[in-house]
Amino acid sequence: MGSGETMLVAMTVNGKAVSRDVDPRTLLVQFLRDNLRLTGTHVGCDTSQCGACVVHIDGNAVKSCTILAVACESSAVTTIEGLAAGGTLHPMQEAFREHHGLQCGFCTPGMIMTAVDMVNRRGPDLDEHTIREDLEGNICRCTGYHNIVKAVAAGAQAMGETAFKQAAE
Amino acid sequence: MSATGIGASVRRKEDFRFITGKGHYTDDINRPGQAYAYFVRSPHAHAKINRIDKAEAERAPGVVAIFTGEDIAADKIGGLICGWMIHSKDGSPMKAGPHPALAQGKVRYVGDHVAVVIAETYAQAREAGEQVNVDYDVLPAVVDTGSARSVGGEPVHEVAPDNTVFEWHLGNKPETEAAFARAAHVTKLDIVNNRLIPNAMEPRAAVGDYDDGADSFTLYTTSQNPHVARLVLSAFNGIAPENKLRVIAPDVGGGFGSKIFIYAEETVCVWAAKKVNRPVKWNSDRTEAFLSDAHGRDHVTHAELATDANGMMIGLRVHTTANLGAYLSTFSSSVPTYLYAPLLSGQYNIPAIYCEVDAVYTNTAPVDAYRGAGRPEATFVIERIVEVAARELGFDPAEFRRRNFVTSYPHQTPVIMCYDAGNYGASMDKALELIDYKGFPARKAEAQRRGRLRGIGFSAYIEACGIAPSAAVGSLGAGVGLWESAEVRVNPVGTVEVLTGSHSHGQGHETTFAQLVSERLGIPIDNVTIVHGDTDKVQMGMGTYGSRSGAVGMSAIVKALDKVEAKAKKVAGYVLEASPDDIEFKDGKFTVKGTDKEIDFASVALQAYVAHKFNGQDLEPGLKEGAFYDPTNFTFPAGVHICECEIDPDTGVTRIENWVAVDDFGIVINPMIVEGQVHGGIAQGVGQALLEGTVYNEDGQLLTASYMDYCMPRAYDFPSLKVETTETRCPSNPLGIKGCGEAGAIAAPPAVINAITDALGHENIAMPATPLKVWRAVQEVQPRMAAE
């Protein structure tokens, strides 16, 4: 590489159409952080272990350090910046604040995106064992996970209630 | 207690930006025209540098400049310093070898900084870095802590021919020898305190910026103490005078000690910004963090505990070899000395203690303070040997501890510390109740029926926090004072900004400090903003480490608030036409004693600034006060942690089934935040005990330099934790705070290992107690158990 060739990539990020000319080896996380200046998605390791970079691609949680930006052509990407609808926090964001599920905040965006995906996949009734097992790909050094687990359980319940209300309306 | 005052679990003010992705960490900062730095690092643990050929790399696309140690030397940039002088037993000063920001003539560990490549993009800098040709003469590496002094060959530093940095001691040797001479029983234990790599989730980063119009520098960096960084970069590295150097530590993603220190990369970035007259940005990748962040622990210890015929502890002697790595990092020398040996008395009344510490250089990453810093090492020694002694003497481990607890205060230990307040028995009682100690035999029997080995382990820890009285640490070798500063700025509308020298990187100061101000001034917590981490805003400060921000940082705020209140009373006196002595201040209102005349805080603030009601000559307009607070003693948080674990003898896997923590932190400002600190500390301590092992091979290659090799604790490694507190007020600071940040990491390792050794009936389990180690121990004990 290093030939200076670029490729045009277009996708939807947080509901907005974006396109940029990028070095083809640009990772999605670099595209988000460096090209779009969406710095809420973090890089905590080089080996796809820590999960600080988790975003949703077409509704599925993906570590954005493991996929090239050009592989996301035409995809819909949601980052932590796009999770709150309008001015209202997502129930999972609210739960992390309410249950002190964060300290330094660095792993938090990835944790929240993973937790939302967990509820999307498994539904709102998550037991502690399931939550702990499903957080395997997200590392936090501050909280000892105790309050993250509480936050995910509460956020899941709140997401379930929100979905129930929306279905009823 | 008000809803937002002291003692309330106020939800954190800082969280909104973090949960919405709007935090500002160093790597989120981009300066116009910035270039990117990549560090060429040594692939060898120990080598002479014959020649650095950068010609090919300089021709690579996008390269702006490449600098080496020669350039650093030509600009007379000083080496990285160690700020704590330790003297050996014979009075000689510690042997500090040179520590240039870029290597000069020699490299001393894998990851040592050889050159910096600055290019238009990070990818270009990295690619060019691979084309810097360095001709090395590889030397044998010194790696092992225990044998570093006797290994021979070329020493790590010329100044220390046998790789010995110092031979230090503390305590009373003759009294201790006498205690052992009359002992009824002596318990002996060999201990390795494993080397850890801190792993804050945010890797270190720096953006150096130079303004050639003003000839001034700005460094954005991941620091726990930006003022100390500025002081060192100015006074010792000679980057620029302090008035020309601004250091900003914005949101910082965890520190745990590793971001206290002034490292080569940050120093080089700010220096190079002027050389290339462009902002220079560097962001560590994770492997670089493993290689070059200061590591923690790494002690090899032999300890002996003497007891009399009644099971009372009468003497403790300890010999420790502490590995300080290849260079003396900023506070490295204090960690295995004054942050270690003074804690060896634990919660116990031990009349005679003697500790010797030999510190060694090796060809490994520098070792410095990591969460707990010296106190976890001390606690591991005392709590392991006490547990083993109880077993040898046939005492219940809780009972053995209790009969030796310090029970009256102040208590002067034989190793410097004067414990000011505590109630160790109360924490023990509560912990035993919470874990259902009486039910343990039944749980153990039930586990046995399932083929599992169940064990219970105690840790009754004490730590010295709120560091520290400046005169005291000065007498022990510190190059700095350890006070803290605060400035309380009341705006004309009655809102308040508090400028603090403490730095929050997860601890929640924006909330807890605001709780103090809200309660004291009787104003809504949303009217209080905490400002930290910028040397242009906060004049001076000592930063956050050693669980000091509550006990020292908040005490400074109390002092400043005292002054604000005194001044505000004078203003209120003029407005209400009464003597300031007759003014009372409560719940945000100033009243004239015995009358219904009153004025609220915001109105007094406005009156202070409009200055219509008083003569500006008699009373200065404005309402802004600053204070420096220097503590009078260390604080002594203490508590009891109990771990209950189960081992699968077929696989060696240890599962923690129950965890109880009962801690006495003095007065607690925000219980929610304090519990969170305990959870996190326990996780790091459990990580040390079960999972985290740093492995260098005999050539000095770091084999555990990624998350695929270094086992970080995950959510499924823990049960739900039971965390509670007891409370004795700390008498040495105005709020009665002791500090909570490090307790879990200090308490947890011996609790885990005591539980495992209890389950196995086998004392020789080294940390991390991986399934392989535990399984091997099971193989040794099972024939014995079968025979019994």
User: Any chain B CB within 8 A of the CB of A158?
Assistant: no
pLDDT per residue as tens digits for the range A21-62: 999 999 999 999 999 999 999 999 999 999 999 999 999 999
Same domain, B590 and B693: no
User: Any chain A CB within 8 A of the CB of B409?
Assistant: no
| Right CATH for A91-168 from 3.30.70.360, 2.40.30.20, 1.10.150.120, 1.25.40.10 | 1.10.150.120
The helix (H) or strand (E) run that includes residue B458 is: strand B453-462
Alpha carbon B326 to its chain's center? 20
Same domain, B446 and B404: yes
Domain coverage including residue B353: 299-467+633-787
Residues making up chain A, counted from first to last: 169
Residue B580 lies in a domain: yes
Same domain, B605 and B463: no
Burial pattern B524-556, b for ≥16 Cβ within 10 A else e, equals ebebbbbebbbbeebeebbbbbbbbbbbbbbbb
Could you tell me where the beta strands, DSSP code E, fall in B517-637? 528-531, 583-586, 589-592, 598-600, 624-629
Interface contact flag, B707 A38, Cβ < 8 Å: no
Partner residue opposite B676 with nearest CB, options A42, A89, A103: A103
Same domain, B432 and B488: no
Residue finishing a domain among B608, B629, B650: B629
Residue finishing a domain among B629, B656, B673: B629
Residue B21 lies in a domain: no
Same domain, B222 and B108: yes
Interface of B with A in 107-136 (CB under 8 A): 123-124, 127
Quickly tell me which residue has 């900062």 as its tokens: B29
User: Any chain A CB within 8 A of the CB of B222?
Assistant: no
Residue of B597, B596, B550 whose CA lies nearest to B575:
B597
Residue B160 lies in a domain: no
Partner residue opposite A145 with nearest CB, options B20, B202, B683: B683
Same domain, B55 and B85: yes
Residue B219 lies in a domain: yes
User: Any chain A CB within 8 A of the CB of B38?
Assistant: no
Q: Where are the domains of chain A?
A: 7-82, 91-168
CATH number, position B43: 3.90.1170.50
User: Any chain A CB within 8 A of the CB of B708?
Assistant: yes
Ranges of chain B with pLDDT below 50: none
Same domain, B462 and B558: no
Asked whether B724 and A132 are in contact (CB, 8 A), the reply is: no
Same domain, B529 and B615: yes
Residue of B506, B546, B507, B458 whose CA lies nearest to B747:
B458
Interface contact flag, A106 B253, Cβ < 8 Å: yes
CA of A55 to nearest chain B CA: how many angstroms apart? Answer: 12
CA of B250 to nearest chain A CA: how many angstroms apart? Answer: 12
Asked whether B268 and B100 are in contact (CB, 8 A), the reply is: no
Same domain, B766 and B698: yes
- Whole-Å CA distances, B655 to B433, B659, B683, B753: 22, 11, 13, 12
Same domain, B506 and B382: no
- DSSP label of B80: P
Same domain, B286 and B315: no
Residue finishing a domain among B594, B629, B664: B629
Residue of B509, B571, B576, B587 whose CA lies nearest to B541:
B509
Residues in CB range of B334: below 8 A, 6 or more apart: B84, B86, B369, B374, B476, B477, B478
Residue B607 lies in a domain: yes
pLDDT per residue as tens digits for the range B105-114: 999 999 999 9
Asked whether A26 and A35 are in contact (CB, 8 A), the reply is: yes
How many Å apart are CA B732 and CA B726, to the nearest integer?
18
Cβ atoms within 10 A of the Cβ of B454, count? 22
CA of A121 to nearest chain B CA: how many angstroms apart? Answer: 19
Residue B335 lies in a domain: yes
Partner residue opposite B11 with nearest CB, options A39, A98, A112: A98
The number of folded domains in chain B is: 3
Q: Where does B142-262 have alpha helices with state H? A: 173-181, 226-235
Q: In this predicted structure, what is the pLDDT of residue B788?
A: 67
Residues in CB range of B154: below 8 A, 6 or more apart: B46, B139, B140
Residue B774 lies in a domain: yes
Q: Indicate the fold that domain A7-82 takes in CATH.
A: Ubiquitin-like (UB roll) (3.10.20)
User: Using a CB-CB distance cutoff of 8 angstroms, which residues of chain B are in contact with residue A45?
Assistant: 286, 706-707
Interface contact flag, B19 A89, Cβ < 8 Å: yes
CATH number, position B528: 3.30.365.10
Q: In this predicted structure, what is the pLDDT of residue A3?
A: 56
Same domain, B95 and B216: yes
Q: Is the dihedral of CA A36, A37, A38, A41 positive or negative?
A: positive
